[in-house]
Chain A
Amino acid sequence: MKKSIYRTIVAVAYMLLFGFVYFFIDPRCYNIFQQPGFVLTSEFFIDHFVQPGGLAVYLSLFIEQFSMFRFWGALFLVVELFFTSWLIVRIVKKISGTSDIVSAVFWLVPVAVSMIAWSDIKFPFAINMQVLLLAGVVNIWMLFSGRHMQRYITLLFSVLLYHMCGPVALYVFLLVNILVYASDHNKNSLLNTAVSAAVSLVYPFIMYKYVLPVSFEHAFYAVIPQQQKFICFGTSPVMVIMLFELPALVLIGLLSQKLVAKRQLICAGLVLLVLAGSVAVFFKKHDDRTERLSFRFAVAAHEHDWSYITKHYREGERYDRHINFYYNMALAQTKQMGDKMFLYPQFMGMEGLFLDDPMAGIECYPTSFLYREIGLITNSLHFAFEAHVSFLESHYVMRMIIDDLIILQDYANALKYLEKYSHEMFSKAFVADRKNFINGVGGTELDAKEVSLIRKNHPKYDFYLKNVQNDMLYMLAANKDNFLSNQYIIASALLNNDLNLFVDLLITGTCKVDPNNMPRAYQEALVLYWATSKNIKEKSYDFKVQPFLKDSFKSFSDILSSSETEKYRLVAQKFPGSYWKYYVFDNPQNKAK
């Protein structure tokens, strides 16, 4: 095969991969909850060098910061894969002396893996871990170059590997040493294997016994340090497979050398087939496009791209609380909540409207974001602080805190956080911009009109932030034109099946609703109220309902009162996206009953 064709195949494959990552994966999704690396605090060395795998975490965090930007994030991911592939090819060539066409197959293996793995949010972390394993690759390469390592290098390398990639990587290295010895039966290889085995057994124990932050599980079998669990959300299948990808390739290379040295092309095809096949099976099980969609929505909401959310909300393969949350927010922002809210199943009721309760670290940032939009700025700051606990110095969270403090006119603390944030990468423009705002210098990104609107929306008097319904009432008391509060409080009444409150909100004028042109869900709720309430409030008749809805409701009632066994299926067919369906079937309180 001509060298130029071989290179063209590889170049085209990686260009396609870049396009795929840029357009379909969107690296910003990886970044939305990530933290910056290179935080040079006094605990830096303990956190990142003493912890097994701490270096991997550190470098991974650093590299992932580039995912703040779509282009640079995609470029970094592809370059990392390219680098990995290059070293894999070098190894495979050393092991089995394959031709270019075989090498091309190995060039494509990481491409295949990444294409399959695109739905996994831990993917970049896994790639970064793999890049760190390249040090191991170089080591193996040295072995196969005929320059056998000295034992002390094996010893040092094992220790380094432990700190770079964690205990699992140490055992992977041991496995590689065993394979090498099995391949060459060299005395030197045997001694290297013995050294590697000794380090694998003894060193984690020493770390656990005498070095502080290492717990038993970190020392012996954690792939990553436990305190990074928020970053990786548990042990990623992507990460695990990538950790074992290299020794698997080495093993296959060794086998090909021994068994099918003359049939390299068949061997290479077999490698690709087995590896890609096993990876495909593995990821089919862990494929979670719904989770990815929720992260995409987080990015879209951050950029106020509400049309993206309202356009793609059906693409999730299952119900998701975060998709539900962002969908509701997008509808409210585009003043469509009353018309389209129930097109997405509101299975969580109020918990899909607000993420306050139950509260976890990952929910705090979106909740803070929602309260900012609504204008309940003290609660936004509260949740930003809570998010800060879990996502220490995340760009998004730090920016939320700083802007909330600015809106609250606490400039002294805003400057303090700006000072802290200014030490992070990519923060300079933001810091300069917000300092300009504080100093009253024009031309800042922070819209002065928007800030003054939020300040106007925020109630000046004190109350306990008890529950969201209560909070929204206070918001409306502060500014009746707050269209988000208007929609959210009515939505909360509907989601709680509280028709009396819903009607009260209309007839008392608490919420601004046009009585002659109400949204669809409001009209449906009113029909339901008239049909079910024993004490109908006269003023409710001031609000007009389209005549056909009354007929529709009769059909709906007929289904409910019929002897039909599949009432839900029938209602879902005839009244999809209706409030009635939610009221009777989807409401989580009814389900609990």
Chain B
Amino acid sequence: MIMNRILHLVALAIIISSCASVDYTSESNSKPQVFPDYTDIVIPVNIAPLNFKAEAGSKLLSVEVKTRTETLTFKCPDGKMIWKKRQWHKLLKENVGDTLSYTLIISDTSGQAVKYAPFYQVVSPDSIDSYLAYRLIGTGYVLWDQMGIYERNLENFKQKPIVENKDVDNACMNCHSFSSQNPNTLLLHTRKYNGGTTILYNGKLQKYNTKTNISMSAGVYSSWNPNGYLIAMSTNLIYQRFHNNYTKRIYVYDEKSDIVLLNMKTETLTTCPQLSTRDMENFPAWAPDGRTLYYISAQARKDEDIDNFDKNVRYSLLRITYDEQSNSWSSADTLLRADDVDGSITYPKPSPDGRYLAYTIADRGYFTPYNRESQLCLLDLQTMETTIQPNVNSNSSESNHGWSHNGKWLVVGSKHPDNMFTKPYFAHFDGNGHFDKRFLLPQEDPDFYDSFILNYNNSDFITGEVAVSSIQLRNAIKSEPVQIKADPSVDIDGLSGATAKK
């Protein structure tokens, strides 16, 4: 009995001490600087706890979180706001559609405790896809050793490998894609060792060789048709140059590129002269209607272009329609010319409702992770109005974005704030052409990014865990590839860098 009372008293003391507010010496009208920046954002109801700390040089002392019904106060002796997972998820569920208001007391550089103006987090009822798939890789540009494709549960902090290259003789791997964020489908390229394209389709996992006599290379950048068996892929001859200018560092470009279409039902590759011109077609992206294919294209490179820093190599946005019944293509239609937007268009990604298309604009080329000037834009496909989206952009590069399956969230790869490492940011989309302020992938420890020196490449939403195990993937990648057949009705010479033979 006495023991119970003591325990109760101890528990009470702990609760009181943890909830006690911290004295402050002054108040500020400005909002606090926290890292990651989780101020004034819209968050999904199912997101992992958004733990944060004060920006470098100052220390977070206490956090007060107000909801419609309660006020929670946390002391932060180690300078970090770290939520208990259960408490966080309960809080979000109870406050769907409402706002969490945070009031912070931070000890500034001079040691003074300052109470800052509150910031908010709006709990959106729009849930985010529960997983994010990405490649983690270091900062090497030519060599590689260890890398892997990973999936991260966005509702907590668990990350596990989909497959790591150490299991497959250190093959280089990337360019993974899923059909409509469905984890029961997967496409993954490996090269150098165990090269090929491993595809999970219709429950079958198989490695293929997608290089045929009508394609200049194996498939590279891919997009699944919503029907789940047609996959548009680019074929590219890719090169890279290194800048002396530290802020630019590296330029990745194509000598040539085309687009091909892989039919998984027939294991056949097809294309058409419109997608295999002497110009450089790239980054195919299916519209949700399953008929329209968006892609980018730039004029064939001239010899002097590369020495001129490729200032003239700018991609336009095009579309073409495909009729599967007759295996026929329409003529290509230019939607947005590079000159119209005074830049190069890349990474076209139509929204799941088909109304919008998100793309990146940069000064040149199509591979923009090293283009600091690159910006994410949104094209309204009904009005053809295009806008740069300030809430998802920064003064660093933005690239490789992707939509969630409900079209309410966008993931953007950005090198903000260090200009060195790509990290995934999420932004809520209101369905009317407007993104809310983006926020960084949450980590359990807010110090995580202080010493994390890998890049999150090609982040893509998936609605659950990938349906196959790493062991199955390993075995498939290490198996002999099945040769994809070329469509005999296509008369294209892929080896010469495209264009119809005649």
Whether B246 pairs with A408 at a CB distance below 8 angstroms is yes
Distance, CA A286 to CA B139, complexed state (A): 36
Chain A residues with CB below 8 A from B326, complex form: none
Whether A364 pairs with B143 at a CB distance below 8 angstroms is yes
Chain A residues with CB below 8 A from B488, complex form: none
B4 within 8 A of A: no
B203 within 8 A of A: no
B325 within 8 A of A: no
Chain B residues with CB below 8 A from A340, complex form: none
Distance, CA A381 to CA B140, complexed state (A): 10
Which residue of A378, A388, A422 is within 8 Å of B138 (Cβ)? A388
- Stretch from B5-13, B47-55, B164-172, B283-291 that touches the partner: B164-172
Chain B residues with CB below 8 A from A227, complex form: 145-146, 166, 170
Contacts A213-B166, A215-B169, A386-B140 hold; do A462 and B244 have CB atoms under 8 A apart?
A: yes
A389 within 8 A of B: yes
Distance, CA A410 to CA B167, complexed state (A): 36
A 416-441 to B, binary, CB cutoff 8 A, 1 in contact else 0: 11011011000000000000000000
Whether A464 pairs with B243 at a CB distance below 8 angstroms is yes
B242 within 8 A of A: yes
Q: Which of B44-73 contact A (CB under 8 A)?
A: none
Q: How many of chain A's residues touch chain B, expressed as a range?
A: 35 or more
Whether A385 pairs with B167 at a CB distance below 8 angstroms is no
Whether A382 pairs with B169 at a CB distance below 8 angstroms is no
Chain B residues with CB below 8 A from A423, complex form: 451
Which residue of A226, A359, A379 is within 8 Å of B169 (Cβ)? A226
Whether A462 pairs with B245 at a CB distance below 8 angstroms is yes
B24 within 8 A of A: no
Whether A389 pairs with B243 at a CB distance below 8 angstroms is no
Distance, CA A381 to CA B250, complexed state (A): 12
Contacts A215-B167, A462-B245 hold; do A416 and B451 have CB atoms under 8 A apart?
A: yes
A474 within 8 A of B: yes
Q: Which of B271-316 contact A (CB under 8 A)?
A: 306-307, 309
A461 within 8 A of B: yes
Q: Which of B85-143 contact A (CB under 8 A)?
A: 138-143
A51 to chain B minimum Cβ distance, whole angstroms, is 9
A413 within 8 A of B: yes
Contacts A42-B159, A227-B170 hold; do A420 and B453 have CB atoms under 8 A apart?
A: yes
Q: Which of A489-517 contact B (CB under 8 A)?
A: none
Chain B residues with CB below 8 A from A471, complex form: 244
Whether B246 pairs with A461 at a CB distance below 8 angstroms is no
B191 within 8 A of A: no
Whether A410 pairs with B246 at a CB distance below 8 angstroms is yes
B182 within 8 A of A: no
Instruction: Name the residue in A364, A377, A386, A474 with the highest tally of chain B Cβ atoms < 10 Å from its Cβ.
Output: A386
Chain B residues with CB below 8 A from A364, complex form: 143
B394 within 8 A of A: no
Distance, CA A557 to CA B170, complexed state (A): 53
A219 to chain B minimum Cβ distance, whole angstroms, is 12
Whether B242 pairs with A392 at a CB distance below 8 angstroms is no
Instruction: Name the residue in A417, A423, A471 with the highest tally of chain B Cβ atoms < 10 Å from its Cβ.
Output: A417
Distance, CA A328 to CA B187, complexed state (A): 49
Distance, CA A209 to CA B251, complexed state (A): 42
Whether A386 pairs with B246 at a CB distance below 8 angstroms is no
Chain B residues with CB below 8 A from A204, complex form: none
Query: Which A-chain residue is minimally distant from B469 (CB atoms)?
Result: A212
B 137-156 to A, binary, CB cutoff 8 A, 1 in contact else 0: 01111111110000000000
B445 to chain A minimum Cβ distance, whole angstroms, is 12
Contacts A413-B418, A419-B450 hold; do A389 and B242 have CB atoms under 8 A apart?
A: no
Chain B residues with CB below 8 A from A462, complex form: 243-245, 248, 309
Whether A386 pairs with B243 at a CB distance below 8 angstroms is no
Q: Which of A337-367 contact B (CB under 8 A)?
A: 359-361, 364
**Pair count A-B, CB < 8 A:** 112
A30 to chain B minimum Cβ distance, whole angstroms, is 20
B21 within 8 A of A: no
Distance, CA A378 to CA B245, complexed state (A): 7
B137 to chain A minimum Cβ distance, whole angstroms, is 9
Distance, CA A390 to CA B144, complexed state (A): 7
Whether A385 pairs with B244 at a CB distance below 8 angstroms is no
A183 to chain B minimum Cβ distance, whole angstroms, is 41
A503 to chain B minimum Cβ distance, whole angstroms, is 26
Per DSSP, are chain B's interface residues mostly helix, strand or loop, or mixed?
loop
Whether B241 pairs with A419 at a CB distance below 8 angstroms is no
B 164-186 to A, binary, CB cutoff 8 A, 1 in contact else 0: 10110110000000000000000
Query: Which B-chain residue is minimally distant from A376 (CB atoms)?
Result: B244
Chain B residues with CB below 8 A from A389, complex form: 138, 140, 143-145
Whether A420 pairs with B242 at a CB distance below 8 angstroms is no
Whether A390 pairs with B420 at a CB distance below 8 angstroms is no
Query: Which B-chain residue is minimally distant from A51 (CB atoms)?
Result: B166
Distance, CA A275 to CA B139, complexed state (A): 48
Instruction: Name the residue in A210, A359, A419, A471 with the highest tally of chain B Cβ atoms < 10 Å from its Cβ.
Output: A419
Whether A385 pairs with B141 at a CB distance below 8 angstroms is yes
Contacts A212-B471, A412-B418 hold; do A382 and B242 have CB atoms under 8 A apart?
A: yes
Which residue of B142, B145, B164, B450 is within 8 Å of A213 (Cβ)? B164
Distance, CA A534 to CA B167, complexed state (A): 61
Chain B residues with CB below 8 A from A212, complex form: 161, 164, 167, 470-471, 474
Chain B residues with CB below 8 A from A253, complex form: none
Chain B residues with CB below 8 A from A463, complex form: 243-244
Distance, CA A298 to CA B177, complexed state (A): 44
A230 within 8 A of B: yes
Whether A378 pairs with B241 at a CB distance below 8 angstroms is no
B254 to chain A minimum Cβ distance, whole angstroms, is 16
A465 within 8 A of B: yes
Q: Which of B13-28 contact A (CB under 8 A)?
A: none
Query: Which A-chain residue is minimally distant from B168 (CB atoms)?
Result: A215
Contacts A213-B167, A389-B138, A420-B451 hold; do A378 and B244 have CB atoms under 8 A apart?
A: yes
A36 within 8 A of B: no
Query: Which A-chain residue is minimally distant from B241 (CB atoms)?
Result: A464
Chain A residues with CB below 8 A from B167, complex form: 212-213, 215
Whether A361 pairs with B474 at a CB distance below 8 angstroms is no
Distance, CA A55 to CA B62, complexed state (A): 43
Distance, CA A519 to CA B169, complexed state (A): 50
Q: Which of B484-500 contact A (CB under 8 A)?
A: none
| A-B contacts besides A215-B478, A379-B244, A388-B140, 8 pairs, CB < 8 Å | A364-B143, A382-B141, A389-B138, A413-B418, A423-B451, A464-B242, A464-B306, A465-B241
Name A's B-contacting residues (CB within 8 A): 42, 209-210, 212-213, 215, 226-227, 230, 359-361, 364, 376-379, 381-382, 385-386, 388-390, 392, 408, 410, 412-413, 416-417, 419-420, 422-423, 459, 461-466, 471, 474
What are 21 pairs between A and B in contact, CB < 8 Å?
Answer: A209-B471, A212-B164, A212-B470, A213-B167, A215-B169, A227-B145, A227-B146, A360-B143, A385-B140, A385-B141, A386-B142, A390-B145, A412-B418, A416-B450, A416-B452, A419-B450, A459-B244, A461-B244, A462-B244, A463-B243, A465-B242
Closest 3 CB pairs of A and B: A389-B140, A462-B245, A420-B451
